[in-house]
Amino acid sequence: MKKLIVACFLTVMMASAHATPEQDRLALRAFFQERFPKLDLNEMINGLYAFDEGAREQWLEMEDFPPYEIAIEEGEEAFNKPFANGKTYADCFANGGMGVKQDFPYFDVGTGEIITMEYAINKCRTDNDEEPLPWLVGELAQIAAYMAYTSRGNKMNVVIPDDPRALAAYEAGKEYYYTRRGQLEFACENCHMQSAGMMLRADRLSGMLGQATHWPVYRSKWGEIGTIQKRFQECNSQVRAKPYEAQSQEYRQLEYFLSYMSNGMELNGPASRR
Amino acid sequence: MDKKAILLTALLGAAGTALIAPAVVAEQAISPERLEQGKALAFDRFKGNCLACHWIEGGELTGNYGPPLVAMKIRYPDREALREQIWDAAIKNPHTRMPPFGRNRILTEEEIDLVTDFIHSL
Amino acid sequence: MKRNLYLPFSALLAVLMSPASAMAADADEYVAALEKAQSQICEAATRVQLWNTSEALLEEAAEAAAKGNFDEGIKLANEAALHAELAVATAVREKKNWHLYVPK
């Protein structure tokens, strides 16, 4: 009898370990469709506004004069300004950096690293003998806003190549998302799946699907445009975990997994949020 | 809550407390000062912060992440069961979303006693 | 983590002049507790994501010690180490459980 229990347990473990990223993504969509039967899942690229008609109306009014507009303009200017060696950001990216955000983050076969768009922007700088920019807000976020803007309407298309290191990075990001952490012991999942659409104080919680489509974001709370990894740090602090450094391996793996889950959804960044 | 709901809660509460007479005695032993202290901890954003997730009478901008805290003596005839829920809700439900206020030392044992007394009085 | 461990002279004076100092913990005991806590926290940090409370508690401990209150300093340093241990305990449990909540 004892043997049988162990055998069953092993089967369950192997079944879960063998779910492919695509199975995960489809299961996640099914999870949200079951929780919100009437919701068009593609609406979830609008975060909490997919769940809250009142807040959505206010938000749409704000979108008439979007608070991220200046960031796009400043980002465009910075993007086009040549480095000291005469090269530009456009030289570092496919298609001159226009309409490419759907491909980020990607797995770099040469180095085995996960490359987010912000990571690639700073790598472009250092490869051209420029100082890297601060990760969270300011010029880097503005450039990312401009690049996101040129990618609007494209569908998220994160690829996990047939390479055990890429799959391991995806799995690490997935484990991070579902693992409780911090003194308050919340996993990302507790708020953004189990409780998506509910109120935490005066704020409605967004759902995990579409969470990666609209960055960078101008948050009223921040009063400026910031990157997705700024939000990771903020979430960590809110559950009283010590945040990792921006673009740490942990956060890049998380962004890889999170972005894959939004595959097939329309890019709509930059965006504004409360 | 509308008047009917309040009346119903009160009636249920009365029926519930009548069935568990010892709890009534215990409640009488809790001073108003103690309940005030418990309430202050429950409402404090850096302590219990109960309102982030729960509706409590008298609280503003309350969340609905967790159930409203009403008729607590019916839901928890045994004060100790309520205390355990606050101390570590994962004991009863491993997939709970409630932070383990005691196990992770978010509140001290004395603070948990005060909060328990206040919540149990709702 | 790079905190100045040297105590201000005024704190030392406060201890020497305090009539209760014979009963209370001294600076050496505090420094020993602090170093023990720091090494425990660093060890935990190599294994799990820490809570943001541990380092904050160490700062409070340093403030208490600077005022000559070594008993409080030791108490807070121990608490900081305990928070690191609890972070590890959660991570160990979660290693077994996290996959239960992935939609299948």
Residue A12, domain member (yes or no): no
Contact B75, B61 (CB under 8 A): no
B62: closest chain A residue by CA = A201
Q: With respect to residue A116, please indicate whether it lies within any of the assigned structural domains.
A: yes
| CB pairs < 8 Å spanning A and B | 36
Alpha-carbon dihedral sign for residues A75, A79, A82, A83: positive
Domain membership of residue A84 (yes or no) is yes
Task: Tell me the pLDDT band of C23, cut-offs 50, 70 and 90.
Answer: low
Question: How many folded domains does chain B comprise?
Answer: 1
Residues 6+ apart with CB under 8 A from B55: B62, B64, B68, B69, B70
Q: Does the distance separating the beta carbons of C53 and A240 come in below 8 Å?
A: yes
The one-character DSSP state at C20 is G
| Most C CBs within 10 Å, among A24, A170, A180, to test the C interface | A180
Q: Does B4 touch chain C (CB under 8 A)?
A: no
Contact A240 C51 (CB under 8 A): yes
The nearest CA of chain C is from the CA of B95 a distance in Å of 8
In this structure, what token pair is assigned to residue A228? 């997705």
- Which of A184, A186, A201 lies nearest to residue B61, judging by beta carbons? A201
Count residue pairs from B and C with Cβ separation < 8 A.
11
Q: Does C97 touch chain B (CB under 8 A)?
A: yes
Q: How many Å apart are CA A190 and CA C97, to the nearest integer?
A: 13
Average confidence (pLDDT) per 10 residues, chain A, 274 residues: 45 58 97 96 94 91 92 98 97 98 98 98 98 97 98 98 96 97 97 93 93 96 96 97 97 98 97 91
Which residues of C touch chain A, with CB atoms under 8 Å apart?
48-55, 83, 86-87, 90-91, 94-95, 98-99, 101-104
Q: Is residue A141 part of a domain?
A: yes
Q: Which residues of B touch A202 (CB under 8 A)?
A: 61
Range of the domain at B62: 3-120
**Given a cut of 60, is residue C2 above it in pLDDT?**
no
Instruction: For Cα atoms A229, B98, C49, give the angle at the middle one, nearest 5 degrees.
Output: 40
d(CA C51, CA A239): 9
Within 10 angstroms of residue B122's Cβ, the number of other Cβ atoms is 20
- In this structure, is residue A13 part of a structural domain? no
pLDDT at B4 over 90: no
On chain B, the residues whose CB falls within 8 A of the CB of C83 are 105
Give chain C's mean pLDDT.
85
Q: Is B108 touching A (CB cutoff 8 A)? A: no
Look at residue A207 and tell me if it is in a domain: yes
Residue C90 has pLDDT above 50, yes or no: yes
CATH number, domain of A144, equals 1.10.760.10
Taking an 8 Å cut-off on Cβ atoms, the answer to whether B105 and C100 are in contact is no
Q: How far apart are CA A11 and CA A1, in angstroms?
A: 16
Please give the pLDDT value at position C17. 52
Residue C45 clears pLDDT 70, i.e. is over it: yes
CATH code assigned at B44: 1.10.760.10
Is-catalytic flag, A124? no
Whether the predicted pLDDT of B14 surpasses 90? no
Our count of domains for chain A comes to 1
Q: Which two tokens stand for residue C93?
A: 């449990």
Sheet of A271-273: strand order equals A224-226, A217-219, A271-273
Q: How many CB atoms lie within 10 A of CB C97?
A: 15
Integer angstrom CA distances of residue A14 from A8, A18, A19, C102: 10, 6, 9, 14
All residues of chain C having their beta carbon less than 8 Å from the beta carbon of residue B94 are 97, 100
Q: Look at residue A4 and tell me if it is in a domain.
A: no
* pLDDT grade for C63, boundaries at 50, 70 and 90: very high
Containing domain of residue A145, as a range?
A: 26-274
CB-closest option in C79, C83, C97 to B94 = C97
Average pLDDT over residues B33-49: 94
Name the pairing type of β-strands A271-273 and A217-219.
parallel
Helix (H, G, I), strand (E, B) or coil at B66: coil
**Pairwise pLDDT comparison (B25 vs A33), residue with the higher score:** A33
B51 touches chain A (CB under 8 A): yes
Q: Is residue A17 part of a domain?
A: no
Instruction: Report DSSP state, residue B77.
Output: S
Put simply, the answer to whether A242 touches C99 (Cβ < 8 Å) is no
Split at pLDDT 50, 70, 90, the class of B60 is confident
Tokens standing for residue A184: 């308050």
Nearest by CB: B63 against A190, A194, A200: A200
- Least confident window among A137-151, B76-90, C16-30: C16-30
SS (HEC) of chain A: CHHHHHHHHHHHHHHHHCCCHHHHHHHHHHHHHHHCCCCCHHHHHHHHHHCCHHHHHHHHHHCCCCCCHHHHHHHHHHHHCCCCCCCCHHHHCHHHHCCCHHHCCEECCCCCCEECHHHHHHHHHHHCCCCCCCCCECHHHHHHHHHHHCCCCCECCCCCCCCHHHHHHHHHHHHHHHCCECCCCECHHHHHHHCCCCEECCEECCCCCCCCCCCCEEECCCCEEECHHHHHHHHHHHCCECCCCCCCHHHHHHHHHHHHHCCCCECCCCEEEC
Q: For residue A251, give how far its alpha carbon lies from the nearest alpha carbon of chain B (Å).
A: 23
Residue A79 tokens read as: 């993007």
pLDDT value of residue C25 = 79
Q: Looking at chain C, which residue has its C-alpha nearest residue B102? A: C86
